Structure 1
Amino acid sequence: MTYADLAGKVVLITGGANGLGAAAAKAFLAEGCKVAIVDIAEDALAEAARSLGFPDRLLTIVADVSREEDVRRYVERTVAAFGTIDVFFNNAGIEGKVAPIVEQAVEDFDRVMAINVRGSWLGLKHVLPVMYAKKSGSVINTSSIGGLVAGPMPVSPYVASKFAIHGLTRIAANEAAPHQVRVNSVHPSPANTRMMRSLESGAGSSQEAIAHAIPLGRYAEGEDIANMVLFLASEKSSFVTGSQFRVDGGMLS
């Protein structure tokens, strides 16, 4: 499916150098969008730029999403380069350590919350005014099925952060609705990304074993999530806000 209304739109993606962010960037570029991708990893951003192409429509920005000055800067740079922000894929996140609560370090908990929750909140704080000013826009927050249920893997900081994004999406949608800005969240199952390689290693499990719990029998691919993000960014979803969209192969059915 293509979305003619997305052509020429300005899309800002955090955590855009790899994984779900890079898959979304590729999909939006294919739709004719102008895309800014933000990531803390400068080398990964450079590689993503080489891989994605479209240098006239792609902007890369090195930033730490947990630092307000960095967030303010990535918003300002996007607007300076492309004039506005129409779509915000608020996606940056980390998995943290795989360990029971009693074995988690406070420092690790704080880092997960800083990136996943404060980073998402700061993104909303600085992007929403741009959208409010023009009375339009779509925000898609990345949560997880771990933001809807607590699974068997001991990743309490991650689960807490993703439940927080679930709640943040709902309150942001309420606040943004009078400005004609929509805010929704996507909740992927395990996806074929670096993050899942890390979680598999930490849990001492395999992709095959984890995929066995997914009715469709496989991990999500980046394109599966990107397809939902494109729908939520487009006018096809113009009456959808404050909603949670599972892209989980039936895992929570």
Structure 2
Amino acid sequence: MVFRSEGRGCAVLKDRTVMITGASSGIGAATARYVAARGAAVVLMARREDKLKALAGEITAAGGRALACPGDVTSAEDVRGVVAAAVDSFGSLDAAFNNAGWGTAGARLHELSEDVYDRIMDVNVRGTWNCLRQQIPVMLAGNGGGAIVNTSSIAGQFATGAAAPYVAAKHAVIGMTKAAAAEYGEQGIRVNALVVGTTRTELMEGVIEQYPEVEKQAVARTVQRRMAEPLEIARAAAWLLSDDSSFVTGAAVPVDGGCSAV
């Protein structure tokens, strides 16, 4: 991979094309704004077309480059279309943040329906798999590699109180990340995972509204005794997507307020 360094500070992504899933709100939207402000063209994927178009319009109005591509990561065809749109519109796919996820809490393993299990596994595991399968060939055929970041969770390292299938799915994301990093490292593709602590996203707010005790439990686990803001996760994702992290691959990087320290 050809390393490029522009300006000062981490996560400079000028002239890169970055695909972001789960981009309609929360961590995905924050990352889109952050990397676009640092020169990247962003390709935004999520199911909610209205929110995607509004975000793309916001980024474009601020002088950035953004393309809204509605789709569902559980559909291989949808993901294929978004990857193709990235190449058609911006000429390459240099980096990807596979951030789409879904989970729930409050119900024990034996109380969960098969539908909930299927959705959790499809979005978190199959969705990541679908993205990697479509992104990697384009990067291999491109200008010497790429950088991919997959969103895992502290639930990918220990039981958190989230639903058991979510804990299993986020463990799987870390395993898939390590396998992909090992398989494609010599060809210039870096693959890392973010181990994300509890963050004030739309999904989390919904869980807290349904199960208020979750907020107290989540904050109690952290050294900093608070939840993250989406921008704090976005900064870490952007660093891993940039050449500033050029010797980091196959890593599960904690951005968790110190949960992993205790």
TM-score range, shorter chain: over 0.9
Match among 12, 28, 34 for residue 35 of structure 2? 28
Question: What letter corresponds to residue 150 of structure 2 in structure 1?
Answer: N
Match among 33, 46, 49 for residue 39 of structure 1? 46
Instruction: After superposition, give the CA deviation of every residue in 1:180-206 in whole Å (9 maximum; x if it has no partner).
Output: 100000011100111111222343326
- Is the 8 Å Cα contact of residues 36 and 64 (structure 2) preserved in structure 1? no
CA distance in structure 1 between the partners assigned to 2:157 and 2:87 by the alignment = 34
Match among 127, 131, 137 for residue 146 of structure 2? 137
1:217 — aligned with what? 225
- Is the 8 Å Cα contact of residues 97 and 104 (structure 1) preserved in structure 2? no
- Is the 8 Å Cα contact of residues 187 and 245 (structure 1) preserved in structure 2? yes
Question: What letter corresponds to residue 27 of structure 1 in structure 2?
Answer: Y
Question: What letter corresponds to residue 245 of structure 2 in structure 1?
Answer: S
Per mean C-alpha deviation after superposition, the further-off stretch among 193-202 and 134-143 is 193-202
Match among 201, 204, 226 for residue 193 of structure 1? 201
CA distance in structure 2 between the partners assigned to 1:2 and 1:130 by the alignment = 28
CA distance in structure 2 between the partners assigned to 1:11 and 1:38 by the alignment = 11
Structure 2 SS opposite 1:62: coil
Match among 133, 157, 174 for residue 165 of structure 2? 157
2:5 — aligned with what? none
Structure 1 SS opposite 2:141: helix
Matched, 1:123 2:131: yes
Matched, 1:179 2:187: yes
Match among 14, 17, 23 for residue 7 of structure 1? 14
CA distance in structure 1 between the partners assigned to 2:188 and 2:64 by the alignment = 29
1:36 deviation in Å?
0.5
CA distance in structure 2 between the partners assigned to 1:99 and 1:225 by the alignment = 27
CA distance in structure 2 between the partners assigned to 1:7 and 1:146 by the alignment = 33
Per mean C-alpha deviation after superposition, the further-off stretch among 154-163 and 53-62 is 53-62
Per mean C-alpha deviation after superposition, the further-off stretch among 178-187 and 191-200 is 191-200
Question: What letter corresponds to residue 12 of structure 1 in structure 2?
Answer: M
Instruction: After superposition, give the CA deviation of every residue in 1:78-118 in whole Å (9 maximum; x if it has no partner).
Output: 11001111110011111135310111001110011111110
Structure 2 SS opposite 1:84: coil
CA distance in structure 2 between the partners assigned to 1:206 and 1:94 by the alignment = 16
Question: What letter corresponds to residue 237 of structure 2 in structure 1?
Answer: V
Could you say what the CA RMSD is over the residues aligned between the two structures, in angstroms?
1.7
1:48 — aligned with what? 55
Question: What letter corresponds to residue 14 of structure 2 in structure 1?
Answer: A
- Is the 8 Å Cα contact of residues 11 and 241 (structure 2) preserved in structure 1? no
CA distance in structure 2 between the partners assigned to 1:205 and 1:51 by the alignment = 35
Question: What letter corresponds to residue 126 of structure 1 in structure 2?
Answer: Q
2:83 — aligned with what? 75
CA distance in structure 2 between the partners assigned to 1:4 and 1:139 by the alignment = 14
* Distance 1:252-1:50 versus aligned 2 partners, 3 A rule: same
May I ask how many residue pairs the two structures share in their alignment?
252
CA distance in structure 1 between the partners assigned to 2:259 and 2:87 by the alignment = 39
Gaps of 5+ in 1: none
* Distance 1:12-1:154 versus aligned 2 partners, 3 A rule: closer
1:236 — aligned with what? 244
* Distance 1:104-1:4 versus aligned 2 partners, 3 A rule: closer
- Is the 8 Å Cα contact of residues 24 and 226 (structure 1) preserved in structure 2? yes
CA distance in structure 1 between the partners assigned to 2:250 and 2:233 by the alignment = 18
